[in-house]
Amino acid sequence: MRERIIRRYSACFKQQVVADLENGRFESIQAARQHYDIGGKTTIQKWLRRYGKNHLQAKVVRVEKPDEADRIRQLKRQIAQLQRALGQTQAENVLNAEYLKLACDELGKDVEGFKKKSDGGRSTEPQKDQN
C-alpha cells in the first residue's frame, strides 16, 4: 500500500499564492496548482475564501424585499399543500380502481368491457326511460 503524504503550507505561502492569483500572474486556479504543485483540487479555493478578496470565486447574490420573502414562504406552503392534495387524490384513484375491480368481479364482468359499455352514458342529466 502506498504511503499517503500530507503537506502543510504556511500562512505566508498561502497568502502568496492568493496574491499571485489576484494580481493576474496565473490565468486560473488550475495553473497556480500546477505551478506550485498543490495536490488538492479545492485547496486554493479555500485559501481564496480565507485570504483573498473573493472576487475570483463565483457568487450568487439574491436581494429580496421583505414582502418578497413572505410571498416565497407563502408559495412554498401552497406547493406543499398541493403536493399533499395530489398524493391524496392519487391514493383515492388507486382505491377507486380497486373497488371497480372488486365490483366487476362480483358482477362477473370484465373491467375493460364495463368501462367501454358505461363510457357512453356519462352525463350530469338524469337519464330518461326509453319506454
pLDDT in 10s for each residue of the chain, 131 residues:
678 778 889 999 999 999 998 888 988 889 999 999 888 889 988 988 888 876 655 667 777 788 888 898 999 999 999 999 999 999 999 999 999 999 998 888 888 888 887 665 555 555 565 55
pTM of the entire predicted model = 0.40
Whole-angstrom distance, CA of residue 25 vs CA of residue 9: 20
For 98, phi and psi rounded to 5 degrees?
Answer: -70, -40
Cell numbers found for residue 69: 420573502
